[in-house]
Structure 1
């Protein structure tokens, strides 16, 4: 899955944003829906699936290991699963493109099967360390031969039966937790993950929904998630809610662009993903939840976002796990707030699709924003609602969230902001720029 030719974009300032939109399906849930459906016996149906490049990489890998996966209509897919112990030896390498989630979770699946898989990816993914997943999976019996630094390409030889373990996460990571739980599905006995700081819980919710025996306990050590192995998963009908990480761009854009009034429909509001909403409201954002409901076991609402004056805050460290992917666009919101915003506690940003702390500091500074870089975040002096100077070129480093976050920044800039390459947005939000044109009143 090679990277497309660079697509530079000169962001036009917006007079205001208005209208109703529906963001793509939740990326985290889409990955997990495909994987667990592939491990169920029978046909599952998923509606609202995100059809970005990352999720398509997961679908292609599961097909290569025997699952029958077919697209019926936009966002509507059927999956004929092979059973928990039924993954087959893939004929070739599994190309993960830019998707760290695909890589880490699929490594977990392969780890407890008697198969060998080679994982490859693009330049950005190949620079990301996989050691944090290799360590627990190796304890379960998998053999991993990785490139220097624990990076892709790597070869993983699974063990069946694997060894159940109890593993305490050294850093908060839903991907590592999920990889261990997925490996535990085909492992006799009980596999436990201890997370001192709670992370997004889509895996636990969906595993239970498919019929796995999952127990979540709050203890003095933290949350303990136990899964009983050799499970038999039942096929499901799944509706994927809108991705809060995608809604985040419009939450910030409508807040900072004067005169804006935007409704974002069908947004997932899982409490383990709602950190940005909490932080923006602390800053003074006007975001109302309309028609709250439950869809597929997940809390959902429409969000009405209107322009509001923001004030700088010190972001509580304990919000970090519930908004780790949204920090880049939070940095953008801070650029328009009155006073200083200190957003730290996000060491994980150093090992995302890019070093998002360094990338966002450089991008904001290139466009006239005063920024101080810390090892675990940024301090940003905002404009008090005025347009940022703009005029700079943003280096995205093939990172979709840098591209879209700085596009939001350019919507309220005195001089145009140029993004060096917006093509990475396709990994998670294929129609982002179409919706931007619509909300800006520029759609044909």
Structure 2
């Protein structure tokens, strides 16, 4: 899988001011749902067919790993993906290390799958992923019986020896993390008894929805404001036909650009609006952004609509930290929106952003400051004093994106609403989640 190796040669690009975003566009499929459809399809007996799969490097890393462990995962000529699984408990010993590229989701969720199978797997990744902490997943999976040997500091490269039968546990998440929750639930699939995850703060629930769709015995109860998720193990999963909705995290860049660039009137089709993912659009509306939902519907158990975004003057707000788990990946582009708003935007409770692909608080603060924004960085968030709608000056030199795809795309949006453009040091990592980003941006702004 050459596509998931580290980008050796940076590909810098200057994003220049552009005309309004108009017309109708469609963003690639949701990354979270794409990952899970491949993993669960590979554990179901029979053929799962997936349309709209995100074909970025992160998802291709998941596909390669499942092939290495015995599943058939193939792309058909019409773009449909066909996944033939042989059942829970049947994962095979991979012949070599599993290269996760830049994908933290692939790594943490696949660690969960391996943890309850009698196989040993070594996980490797690129320089960015190899700095990300895995301890929060190692802790519960070790309680279930997996033997995990990480590099110093709890990072990749990492070797995990699964245990079968594993031990069912009740695990209270110490921090809000859909990846940790999903890793424990996936380990529970091949574990006799009931595996329970207690979630003090709700996080994205794609795993729960999809596990039920594939036939797993999963129930969710509310106790004292907490979610108790129970999964009965030794599951028998049924193959599914899945249509992946558009990724709201990808739609976010275009929605914010349309709000900021004068004259914009853009429809983003087929966007997944799972309530555990869509809080950015709530915050943008609180700021005065004109974002309306057209043709709301349900596809595969997920709420979907077309988003109509129009240029709007924005006003700074204090973002409720309770919304953070439902928009954790969208804060970088929200910081761009806040930089051009009227007044001050305050964000708190965002410690999680310091352990993403990069430290997204410090990296975005530095990049936006270089572009002329007024940013104050706190330990758990940023305070942003907006320009009142005036364009940012732009950057004389390339800003550092730290191999982080969302930083690169967020600063591309900043370039559209600058006087002199914004240069990012490397656009290569964008391929991990949104390989068609630049082409779609050029199309929406009439530069294609």
- Is the TM value for this pair above 0.5? yes
Runs of 4+ in 1 over 4 A off after TM superposition: none
| Equivalent position to 1:337, from 341, 346, 351 | 341
Match of 1:440 in 2: 445
What residue ranges of structure 2 are gaps of 5+ in the alignment?
A: none
Question: 1:227-246 residue pairs with structure 2 within 5 A?
Answer: 227-246=231-250
Report what 1:3 is aligned to.
6
- Give, in whole Å, the separation in 2 of the partners of 1:70 and 1:278: 37
- Verify the 8 A CA contact 1:24 1:50 in the aligned structure 2: yes
The alignment status of 1:413 with 2:408, answered yes or no, reads no
CA positional deviation for 1:73: 3.3
Corresponding residue number in structure 2 for 1:400: 405
More displaced stretch, 385-394 vs 403-412: 385-394
Structure 1 gaps of 5+ residues are none
What do the CA deviations read for 1:159-197 (whole angstroms, capped 9, x no partner)?
000000000000000000000000000000000000100
Distance in 2, matches of 1:16 and 1:208, equals 42
2:315 matches 1:317: no
Residues 1:166 and 2:170 are matched in the alignment: yes
Q: Tell whether 2:434 aligns with 1:426.
A: no
Superposition pairs for residues 58-207 of structure 1, below 5 Å? Answer: 58-73=62-77, 75-207=79-211
- Distance in 2, matches of 1:80 and 1:42, equals 5
Give the Cα–Cα distance (whole angstroms) in 2 for the partners of residues 209 and 181 of structure 1.
Answer: 14
TM-score, normalised relative to structure 2: 0.98
For residue 119 of structure 1, give the secondary structure of its aligned residue in structure 2.
strand
| Secondary structure of the structure 1 residue equivalent to 2:128 | helix
Q: How many residues are paired up?
A: 443
Secondary structure of the equivalent of 1:415? coil
Query: Contact 1:371–1:380 at 8 Å: present in 2 too?
Result: yes
In the alignment, which residue of structure 2 is the partner of 1:358?
362
Tell me if structure 1 keeps the 8 A contact 2:203–2:326. yes
Cα distance in structure 1, aligned partners of 2:77 and 2:320: 42
Q: Secondary structure at the match of 1:273?
A: coil
Whole-angstrom CA distance in 2 between matches of 1:17 and 1:47:
27
For 1:29, which of 28, 33, 37 is the aligned residue? 33
Provide the rounded CA distance (Å) in 2 between the counterparts of 1:65 and 1:2: 20
Contact 2:118 2:163 in 1 (8 A): yes
Aligned partners of 1:15 and 1:74: how far apart in 2?
Answer: 34
| Residue of structure 1 in register with 2:22 after alignment | 18
1:390 aligned counterpart, secondary structure:
coil
Q: 1:221 Cα shift?
A: 5.8
Cα gap change, 1:296/1:31 in structure 2, threshold over 3 Å: closer, same or farther? Answer: same
Q: Distance in 1 between matches of 2:406 and 2:316?
A: 22
Aligned partners of 2:226, 2:135: CA distance in 1, in Å? 23
In 2, distance between residues paired with 1:250 and 1:440?
A: 10
| Aligned equivalent of 1:306, options 306, 310, 315 | 310
Q: How much does 1:287 deviate?
A: 0.4
1:375 maps to: 379
Q: TM-score, normalised by structure 1?
A: 0.99
What SS does structure 2 have at the residue aligned with 1:211? coil
